[in-house]
Each structure stands twice: as C-alpha cells, then as structure tokens.
Amino acid sequence: MDTKKIVCFGFGQVAKNFIKKLNDQGVPLKLTTTSRKESRNKKFENISYESFQFTEEGFDKNFISKFEEADHILLSIAPINGTDIVIKNLKDYFKSSKFKWITYLSATSVYGNHNGEWVDENSETKPNSPNGIDRLKAETEWMQLASKFDLPFQIFRLSGIYSNQYNILKRLKLGEAKIINKKNHFFSRIHVEDIAHVLFSSLNNFKKKEIYNISDNKPASAEEVTMYGVKLLGIDKPKTIEINEIESEMLKNFYKDSKKIDNKKMKEFFNHKLKYPTYVEGLNYIFNNTI
C-alpha cells in the first residue's frame, strides 16, 4: 500500500479522528499539520509529525517543501475575518497535478434559516450568520480554484459536531447547559467518529467538485437533546432562558437558524452506515463509556 502524504490545515478533533482512523486501519502515512503556534515536531497516536506555524499574518516557509510533497489535503481552518487563509497564502501552489484528494470541511450554517424544513445539497444557501456567510464565500473560492486547476476537490458540510470529549452530558455535569425557549427550532448533529469514517470512505470513492451534507438521521431541538441528557444523568432540568437573554453572539446566531439536514446523498454515495445514527445512540455510548 502506498504511503499517503497528508497535510492537515488545522489539526482539531475532526482531523485527529481522521488520522486515527487511517492509523487504526493500518494505512501508511506521512503527516504534516499546521497550527497558529510555533513550528515543532510532535507525536499523535504514535505518529511522529511536523506542525508548522500558519496564520493570517504569514507562515513558516519551511512548510512549502512539505506541502509540495503532499498528495492528500484536509482543509479544516475556518475563515478568519472573512478570509480563507489557505487560499490567501497558497492558492498558486495548488497548480500541481499530484494531488489525489482535497477535502474542505465547511458547515451547514451556509444554508441559513429554513424555518424547520428539510434541506439537501441543492437547497438555497442563504446564510445570515457571520460564520455561515464566511463559509459560503470560502466554498465559492475553493470551487473556483478547483475548476481553475482541475483539482480532486470535495466539500463536506458538517452539522453540529459532538464527540466523547465535547457533548451535552459534559456541559450538563459542569452546570454550563441552559434550555433556550425557542419553538420549532431544529438542528442536526454528527458524531466526530462518523465524520472520520466518511472521510476515510471518500479516499477510495471520490467524485470531483461534489458537496455532501455530513449529518446523522435525526434532526432535533436543542431542548430535546438536553432533556435526553438530563434523563440519562438523572439530574434536574437546567434553567430555561429567553432568546433575548443569550449573551453569546455565536449562540444567538445559532438560534436564528432552524433546519433539518438531509443526509441521503452521503449515505448512498459512500454506502455509509452511521455508527451513531441519532443523538440517542451517541449519548448512550458516551454515558456508558466515558461519563
């Protein structure tokens, strides 16, 4: 099996779970990552790798030679002040024909508000949050670059990510969860392991310039998910607050949008059976194994 030379722009929980999946499957790989912090050698899952400083102000020029060797690119850096810093710093370096796989991790915030209705990859994108607006702009720029250089490029629009480390059960136990009083508010979520599985599947099942919603099967209100967590933990229901009492701007924007994410394209194209098809299986696993 050929060694995959992978560059992860950003090395957060999705990228880490993807690399862990590759490692668990015995895929030989050479890993390079970027970070806002100073360049250094690091270790993850017994993989030695180099992390290079890469910010909106500039980047470690030693990174270029590693990038030019790469054949698989995972893009998980969110736009910064409306700018995709990978395009800003490196767009002309994507001319190379050696790339086999480039995936941009976007977000379902690009759809904006659909009043609790279902959306799929062909639905209108009408973001109204700064995050959604910036993500859609970045998607457009990446698609233009992919067309210009005929890149093997795809977009994954991720629903709200949760994991064994970051989840409503932890927030409830810490007393950080509140219930927001908002009727007909639906959103979709996805366990980070399922994202990693679909990324892995896409390595050998790839179609250029496609967009996929990465989501589980059961959109639900935040209150429904929170109350399931309350039931599992056997604790009191957290405080309910009104929309106008929310202090976080990001949370305010989250509650402006209501939609249900259709994941049929993902499941059919990648023949993917979700490990955690709904929040019930996901939270049950977390409760039984990590809490």
pLDDT tier, 284 (very low <50, low <70, confident <90, very high otherwise): very high
Mean pLDDT of the chain: 95
Q: How many domains does the chain have?
A: 1
pLDDT tier, 242 (very low <50, low <70, confident <90, very high otherwise): confident
pTM: 0.96
Name the helix (H) or strand (E) containing 265. helix 264-269
pLDDT at position 96 is 78
Distant-in-sequence, close-in-space partners of 70: CB < 8 Å, separation ≥ 6: 5, 6, 7, 32, 99
Structural domain contains residue 176: no
User: Which residues partner with 228 through β-bridges?
Assistant: none
Structural domain contains residue 71: yes
Structure tokens at 53: 């400083």
pLDDT tens string 113-159? 999 999 999 999 999 999 999 999 999 999 999 999 999 999 999 99
Mean pLDDT, to the nearest integer, of 80-90? 95
pLDDT tens string 17-68? 999 999 999 999 999 999 999 999 999 999 999 999 999 999 999 999 999 9
- Among candidate residues 24, 80, 5, 64, the one with its CA nearest the CA of residue 200: 24
Mean pLDDT, to the nearest integer, of 69-92? 95
- Eight-class DSSP state of 100: -
Structural domain contains residue 225: no
Structure tokens at 215: 């989501």
DSSP string, 174-227: TT---EEE-TT--B-EEEHHHHHHHHHHHTSS--TTEEEEE--S--B-HHHHHH
CATH number for position 202:
3.40.50.720
Structural domain contains residue 242: no
pLDDT at position 241 is 87
pLDDT at position 288 is 96
Query: How many percent of the chain have pLDDT more than 70?
Result: 100
Domain of 83, in residue numbers? 4-163+190-215+262-272
pLDDT at position 10 is 98
Structure tokens at 133: 């607006």
Structural domain contains residue 22: yes
**Dist. CA 242–CA 239, nearest whole Å:** 10
pLDDT at position 223 is 93
- Eight-class DSSP state of 85: H
pLDDT at position 228 is 97
Q: Check whether 182 has a pLDDT greater than 90.
A: no
Structural domain contains residue 238: no
Structural domain contains residue 248: no
Q: Check whether 97 has a pLDDT greater than 90.
A: no
Structural domain contains residue 245: no
Structure tokens at 277: 């098809």
pLDDT at position 243 is 82
CA 40, chain centre distance (Å): 25
